[in-house]
Structures are given as C-alpha cells and as structure tokens.
Amino acid sequence: MAFIELNGVNKWYGQYHALRDVTLSVDKGERIVICGPSGSGKSTLIRCINALEGHHQGTISVGGTALTSDIKTVEGVRKSVGMVFQSFNLFPHLTILENCTLAPIHVKKIKKAQAEDLAMSLLERVRIGEQALKYPGQLSGGQQQRVAIARALCMQPDVMLFDEPTSALDAEMVKEVLDIMVDLAGSGMTMLCVTHEMGFARQVADRVVFMDAGQIIEMNTPDAFFRAPQHDRTRQFLSQILH
C-alpha cells in the first residue's frame, strides 16, 4: 500500500468546488511535483494531506492512518508530515534555534539539550547553523525559508510538503532554497512539492502532477510530461511557462 493515499477527494469553499474527485497515491521515497495555474487546487490538495484544510468527500490516509476530524488522529498524522509554507511562517518572537526546538520539546517531549543538538545538526545541514541565535526578522527570505525546512525536519517526518516554497523569494535566493530541496530529495525523503520551478521538477521529480480547475489533468514522469504532454490544457500551460 502506498504511503499517502487520496481516493475520490472532494472539497468545497462555500459553493466553489475546489478539489474534484482527486485520486493520488504516493509511495515512500517518491518525489512528486504538483504544478498548475493559480486557483487550480494544488495548495488545497497538499493542505488536505496534513488536515490544515478539511475535505468533504473521499478518503485520505497517511502511513496507514485514515484522516478524520478527530484531533488525536490529526495530530498523529501531522507528527509524520512536515510542511514548508510560501511565506515561511517562522515564529518571529522566537530565535531560529527556538523555532526548531519548539515542536520536538512540546510535542515529542524530547529533552531540551537533545532537541538543541538535533536542531543544530539540521541547521548545519541547511547551512545556517551560525545564525541559530538570531531572530527570523534578522534573516533574508532565503535564509528564513531554509530555517523553515530545518524546523519541519526537526520533527523527523516521513513526508515533506512544500507549498510554493520559492514563490516569495527574490530571484537570487531561489537557488539556495532549491539546492536544499534537491539535497533532501537525494536523501530519500518522500516529498510533495507545489512549485513553478520546472527545472527542479525535471531534476528530482519521480512524477509531475498537473492540476487545473480542482482536478488532476495529467500525471507522468517528468521526461514524458515535458517532452510529450497529452492533454491540450497541459500543452497550453507548458507553452505559457516554458520559453
């Protein structure tokens, strides 16, 4: 059985049908890139996987646990699913190190010293260890996003969700974040990335998922997806973003 299973998932915002019969399964270690125009439901899709959004119909299971509205179930799933946001969402009143140790200490009940060791090793891994005692406001966007990745990794998740992680960054900083993500992909992490970085998709994705109007339009290996898109909508989208 796949690690993440979405089966016939539907979601509405009021009367707006945001996700339409979405079915997707992701194996452990797989790297999925989800792309599509704004409002196509790609962010909603990955936000349903850690229950930041509730879905109305269909089933979602993560690591064999079916998502319900029960808070214990939700918290259990979230422990194994890390998330990185477009706007970083670091906690501005805590230092970089405190941002990273907060959840291990308060959720996993790990001792402070141990949590700090783990956080420092991950901050080193995203090449930002020397900034550990600063506050988020003192860091550049690219540095903040790398901290956000380390913060999520500190919970030692089985899956990482990326919701347009480079869209809020200056062009010069996009690469430093992508490099970390490529590195992470190389380590065997299961990843679902909503992104417009097609170079990244080509380089690391096992599968590219194209969404439009709340539905999955096309799904294929990057090679086949970019070389020979099948659906008209996919071709149209690719012709807009690839020059």
Footprint of other proteins (CB under 8 A): 50, 52, 71, 75, 78-79, 81-83, 85, 87, 89-95, 102-103, 106-107, 135-138, 151-152, 155
According to DSSP, the residues that pair with 216 across neighbouring strands are 211
SS (H, E, C) the chain: CCCEEEEEEEEEECCEEEEEEEEEEECCCCEEEEECCCCCCHHHHHHHHCCCCCCCEEEEEECCEECCCCHHHHHHHHHCEEEECCCCCCCCCCCHHHHHHHHHHHCCCCCHHHHHHHHHHHHHHCCCHHHCCCCHHHCCHHHHHHHHHHHHHCCCCCEEEEECCCCCCCHHHHHHHHHHHHHHHHCCCEEEEECCCHHHHHHHCCEEEEEECCEEEEEECHHHHHHCCCCHHHHHHHHHHCC
User: Residue 87 or residue 121: which is nearer to other proteins going by CB?
Assistant: 87
User: Residue 88 or residue 210: which is nearer to other proteins going by CB?
Assistant: 88
User: Residue 44 or residue 50: which is nearer to other proteins going by CB?
Assistant: 50
User: Residue 75 or residue 223: which is nearer to other proteins going by CB?
Assistant: 75
Query: Maximum distance among all alpha carbons in the chain?
Result: 55
User: Residue 52 or residue 238: which is nearer to other proteins going by CB?
Assistant: 52
Least CB distance to other proteins at residue 85 (A): 6
Least CB distance to other proteins at residue 75 (A): 5
Least CB distance to other proteins at residue 191 (A): 15
Least CB distance to other proteins at residue 180 (A): 18
Least CB distance to other proteins at residue 134 (A): 8
Least CB distance to other proteins at residue 44 (A): 13
User: Residue 6 or residue 83: which is nearer to other proteins going by CB?
Assistant: 83
User: What distances in angstroms separate CA 196 from CA 9, 26, 167, 174, one per listed residue?
Assistant: 24, 20, 8, 11
User: Residue 82 or residue 214: which is nearer to other proteins going by CB?
Assistant: 82
The Cα–Cα gap between 82 and 122 comes to 14
Least CB distance to other proteins at residue 181 (A): 17
